[in-house]
Amino acid sequence: MGLKLALIAFLFCSGLCGAVRAESFAGTSPRLNVLFIAIDDLNDYISPLDHHPGIRTPNFERLARRSVLFTNAHCAAPACHPSRVAVMTGVHPTRSGIYRNLFGAHGPRWRHESPVLEDAIVLSQHFRDHGYRAVGGGKIFHTLQWTKGDSQNDPTAWDAYRGDPLDPISADWPRPAFIKTKDQNDGFTGRRPLNNFYFGAAPVELKAEQGDGAVVDWAIEQMSAETTQPLFLAVGLFRPHIPWEVPQEWFDLYPESEVQLPEYRDDDLDDAHSHGREAWHRWVVENNQWKHLVRGYLASVSYVDHQLGRLLDRLDASPLAGKTMIVLWTDHGFHLGEKQNWEKFALWEQTTRTPLFIHVPGISQDGARTNQPATLTDLYPTLCDLAGLPTPPQCTGKSLAIQVEHPDQIDERTSLTSFVFGGGGKPAHGISDTRYRYILYADGFEELYDLQQDRNEFQNLASDPKLSDTKNRLRQSLPENPAANVGPAVDSPYHRARNR
């Protein structure tokens, strides 16, 4: 009887009890498996978020129906490498000093670039240390399709990794034959951003064992394998990262005549800080590539949506069904001409906001959305809470477990995205609350946007005296002593030059 009363009290408690309840749930039931899906360069164009006109992402909608969608989640840094290290270690760039992409690694060189990270426990390693079988495939730490053997992965953080953990994706992607047709290549000659056609869009033939499909095939095998341990399965999908080369069927969803450009204003940068990348956009416009490139991005998003669907199908048909948490995140947002920018490397919401979905069987309020500001460094402590594991002291974020159970329960935290522009100097910071976005650049320039009135961040309100209290309140969230920017540790045994 006492036990029953205690159980009733337990079930009815709310608020702060949420995290306790999650912990108890994990502690008293068989351990939940974790399906951890990382997507590269996917912004808010998917239908459950901003819904770019015409976008077809039925599987993201399907995931939204069965999870909590965080609509105000932001990367820790707006570039692949620093964002991913921050997620996988739980350490924010303002603590580690890793704000930018650093190339030429062959292993976890970040351990030698940042003293704070030298002994950091990688998320997968932490789950393994607590009885999970931790396996990974595809792009989890930074790597690129075209930089063979350049990988920041830590092979020791996994029980097993698909293929070569230090060259996880470069062999998966064939390049299309570049036939000089108007459809594919008009303007794709001469001077263009990036060399060798990496910044482009074209249909490519992908066999079943190629592309992200190969990584998903591997993940499907992992979900089907017999194991007595709970599974931590990390699946890293590379599209919609450039080059936008996916099979023709995904291009066919978006006839070029129907492709709509994102909302933009020609004078948008007049009241904003330059991102220093305007030349890319000029090239796109001068070569009449804008619609073609947006089409390639949309096709790549639908391709990755299809791969997500394959993962969910298999999960639902596997012994893991109903016993698996799902977390899906992307490493940062993406511009397709908004503010004359392409790719990322900026601090506007278009760059920093990322889709974030969390499903926990029996806990998450599936189908709900929350505007709770979140930084992706919150993921590590969130997953620890939801799985009933301790959070390592290295983590700088704050668990979102309460919002997973009670999406309306917004706490006062803000998000924090930090970046060092142009390869050196002090970091700049972007902060969001539930309504406003504040950006402070290293030279002191400020931007403030009211996202409730101005979703596209067109009008900089930083000098509006009516909003000075708001601005000062957001400034309270600036980091006090952010770490200095670090460069590549050339003496590290994980420096690629030493391995080739």
By CB under 5 A, residue 271 contacts Ca ion? yes
Q: Which of residues 405-424 bind Ca ion (CB under 5 A)?
A: none
**Which of 81, 92, 126, 142 is flagged as catalytic?**
142
Contact 239, 304 (CB under 8 A): yes
Q: How far is the CB of 271 from Ca ion (least distance, A)?
A: 5
Q: How far is the CB of 80 from Ca ion (least distance, A)?
A: 4
Size of the site for Ca ion (CB under 5 A): 8
Burial of 12 (C-beta count, 10 Å sphere; 0-12/13-18/19+): exposed
By beta-carbon proximity to Ca ion, the closer residue of 356 and 386 is: 356
Q: Which of residues 453-492 bind Ca ion (CB under 5 A)?
A: 458
By beta-carbon proximity to Ca ion, the closer residue of 40 and 150 is: 40
- Assign 239 to helix, strand or coil: coil
Contact 364, 405 (CB under 8 A): yes
Q: Is the dihedral of CA 336, 339, 345, 350 positive or negative?
A: negative
By CB under 5 A, residue 349 contacts Ca ion? no
- Look up 130 and say whether it is catalytic: no
User: DSSP code of 86?
Assistant: H
By beta-carbon proximity to Ca ion, the closer residue of 44 and 268 is: 268
By beta-carbon proximity to Ca ion, the closer residue of 272 and 298 is: 272
**Which of 52, 75, 80, 112 is flagged as catalytic?**
80
Q: How far is the CB of 42 from Ca ion (least distance, A)?
A: 8
- Look up 142 and say whether it is catalytic: yes
By CB under 5 A, residue 80 contacts Ca ion? yes
Look up residue 76 and give its two tokens.
């820790």
Among 331, 274, 245, CA closest to 41 = 331
Contact 436, 448 (CB under 8 A): yes
Q: Which of residues 305-334 bind Ca ion (CB under 5 A)?
A: 331
Contact 352, 333 (CB under 8 A): yes
Q: How many CB atoms lie within 10 A of CB 149?
A: 15
Q: How far is the CB of 268 from Ca ion (least distance, A)?
A: 4
172 phi and psi angles, rounded to 5 deg: -85, -20
By beta-carbon proximity to Ca ion, the closer residue of 283 and 458 is: 458
Among 310, 293, 131, 290, CA closest to 211 = 310
By CB under 5 A, residue 40 contacts Ca ion? yes
By beta-carbon proximity to Ca ion, the closer residue of 125 and 354 is: 354
Contact 131, 224 (CB under 8 A): no
Q: Which of residues 239-268 bind Ca ion (CB under 5 A)?
A: 268
By CB under 5 A, residue 41 contacts Ca ion? yes
- Segment (H or E) for 401: helix 401-405
Q: How far is the CB of 269 from Ca ion (least distance, A)?
A: 6
What residues does 203 pair with on adjacent strands? 246
Closest CB to Ca ion: residue number: 80
Q: Which residues are catalytic?
A: 80, 142
Binding interface with Ca ion (CB under 5 A) = 40-41, 80, 268, 271-272, 331, 458
